[in-house]
Structure formats: structure tokens, C-alpha cells
Amino acid sequence: MIVPHAILATTAMIAAVVVTATAGDILTASAMRQVGDLDVIRARSGITGAALAVVTNSRFGLGVFCLALSFFSLLFAFSHRDLSLIGPAATSLTFVTNALAAKWFLHEHVDHRRWTAAIFVCIGVAMLAF
Amino acid sequence: MTFRRYLVLAVITLTASCGDTFLSRGMKSLGPVSLAHPAALIHAIFSPWVASGIVLLIGFFASYLTALSWADLTYVLPASSLGYVIMTLLAHFWLREHVSPMRWLGVVFITAGVGFVTRGPSWTDHSGAGHTEAQIAAVETPEEVRQ
């Protein structure tokens, strides 16, 4: 089966946005889990202490780097394809990939309630394009 | 989950949707920006709507990080997606954009998804220790009340 070049390019652009956004979200969430409850840290060390605890975490830096990559991938995709296709496709798919990645990498308890929520939000965001 | 934490989720929702709407309002008032003149983007940052949008999005990121420090990613993301609903309402009633029946149905799906996730637990405790009730109470009870 021959896949048209345009479809392959669109899929690659959406995949780039989704993969980098998911990596960014997972690394950021993992960093915040390492840092601990910011409310507790702020009560103990003030807002400067809380900010320092976050920005000095290496996973947080890597997460922000991935989120920046995702942003520029999104801009690149927007310059080649319609906003109404790339925006909802990338955003809605990210909800599902985040749920999978959070289960695998962060070992979060993703029960049927959270799966239903992720899928409902994914469908809802996709529908906002129409 | 306490009232204060629901308030943080509400701040995430409001700052994200209002921030994006302010950016959109500001960029529409400035007109299309050509890639040949990127300096126009720097000029856009100083317009009141865009500047306010950026401030709100910084507030969004700070409250998002706060929420991730005491709740799971798979809880925070769907719970804060109510911002899409607010953004659609703002687009319809404030920016006077046309919202199709399909988009209203999308709003219903998102609201249902948020309803599902917020009825469950917010945190997966891996250590067994977690954040104790005393720690949470110490943060949420003002000093003068505790004394």
C-alpha cells in the first residue's frame, strides 16, 4: 500500500508535537513529584525557596526543554497545515498518550474513571474543531 | 482534596482560558504578522491585551506546577480541561465568534470528562508516607488560628 507523501508528512508533524508534549508533561510531573508538595515547601522556606526547589531540578529543566520543542514543532506544523487540523489532533491525542505514559513511567493508578475522562476530553477537544 | 486545592484547579482553568483569549484578542487587533517582519511580534508583546495574556499564562504555569506537586498528571490534565469550555463560552459571548452545534457537543463531552475524573482520588501514593494530614493542615490553617 502506497501512503501519499502529504499524509505521511502530516502524521509525522502531529507525532512530533504529541511525543515532545507528552515527554515534557511527564518530565515536569516527575520533577514536581521529586520536589514534593509546593504548599509545604512554601510554608517552610517561602516563595523563593519553593521557586528555587523547582528551577534547580534537572528533570524540570529537561521537561521545559521538551515543552519548548513541542511549541516550536506546533508552530512548524501550523506553517504547513491548517490550524483546525493540527490543533485539535495534537491536543486530543496528547490526553491519551499522557494517560499511557503516566501509567508506564510515573506508575500512576489510571483506573477506568481516569481512562473515561481522558477519552471523553480527547473526543470533546477533537469536536471543538468543527 | 480540599477547597484550597480545588481553588488552585480553578485558577489553572481560568488563567489558561483567559490568557489564550487575551492573546487572541490582542493579535486580532494588531492584524496579521508576516514572517518577513518578526520585529512586529516584539511590538505585539507590549500591547496591553498580549501583555495581560502573557502575565495570565505565567500564572497558569505556576499554578499548574503547584497542582502537579500534590496531584497526579492524569488527574490535573482532565480536571483543568474545563478551560476549553470557558474559552468556547468567551469566544461566543465576548469575541462574538460562531460556535457550531458540534462544538457545543464537544463542550458537553469535556464537561462530562471533568465530572468523571474529579469524583475520584487525586494522588497515587507510591511511598506509603505521602503528605500527612498534619502537613496539609499546617499549610492550610493560618498561623494565628493554630496558636
pLDDT in tens, chain B (147 residues): 788 889 999 999 999 888 888 887 887 787 776 667 777 777 888 889 989 999 999 999 999 999 999 999 989 988 888 888 888 888 888 878 888 899 899 999 998 988 888 887 887 876 654 444 444 444 444 444 444
Helix, strand, coil share (%) of chain B residues, nearest 5:
70, 0, 30
CA distance A91 to A121: 10
**Residue A11 CB neighbours (<10 A):** 12
Query: Would the pLDDT of A48 be above 80?
Result: yes
Chain B, residues 43-62, CB within 8 A of chain A, namely none
The whole-number pLDDT of residue B62 equals 92
**Which of A57, A25, A27, A26 lies closest to A41 in space, CA to CA?**
A57
How many domains, chain A?
Answer: 1
**pLDDT tier for residue A21 given thresholds of 50, 70 and 90:** very high
The whole-number pLDDT of residue A73 equals 86
Secondary structure string (H, E, C) spanning chain A:
CCCCHHHHHHHHHHHHHHHHHHHHHHHHHHHHHHHCCHHHHHHHHHHHHHHHHHHCCHHHHHHHHHHHHHHHHHHHHHHHCCHHHHHHHHHHHHHHHHHHHHHHHCCCCCCHHHHHHHHHHHHHHHHCCC
Counting residues of chain A whose pLDDT is more than 70, the rounded percentage is: 96
* Residue B34 forms contact with A (CB below 8 Å): no
The whole-number pLDDT of residue B128 equals 53
The whole-number pLDDT of residue B147 equals 40
The whole-number pLDDT of residue A100 equals 92
CA distance A74 to A59: 22
CA distance A7 to A14: 11
Contacts of B23 in chain A (CB under 8 A): none
CB contact under 8 A, B116 and A116: yes
CB B79 within 8 A of CB B118: yes
Q: What are the structural domain ranges in chain B?
A: 3-146
The whole-number pLDDT of residue B58 equals 92
Helix (H, G, I), strand (E, B) or coil at B44: helix
**pLDDT tier for residue A1 given thresholds of 50, 70 and 90:** low
Q: Give the nearest partner residue to B103 out of A33, A43, A127, using CB atoms.
A: A127
The whole-number pLDDT of residue B144 equals 44
Among A16-20, A118-122, B130-134, name the most confident range. A16-20
- Chain A residue with minimal CA distance to B137? A40
CA distance B47 to B55: 12
Query: Would the pLDDT of A64 be above 90?
Result: yes
Q: What is the dihedral of CA B100, B102, B107, B108, to 10 degrees?
A: 130
Q: Is A100 left (phi over 0), alpha (psi -120 to 50) or beta?
A: alpha
Q: How far is CA B65 from CA A106, B73, B140, in A?
A: 16, 10, 18
CA distance A113 to B124: 14
Q: How far is CA B104 from CA A89, A106, B86, in A?
A: 18, 34, 12
Average pLDDT of the residues in A86-114 = 89
**pLDDT tier for residue A29 given thresholds of 50, 70 and 90:** very high
Q: ipTM value of the model?
A: 0.84
Average pLDDT of the residues in A64-69 = 94
CB contact under 8 A, A124 and B107: yes
Query: Would the pLDDT of A7 be above 60?
Result: yes
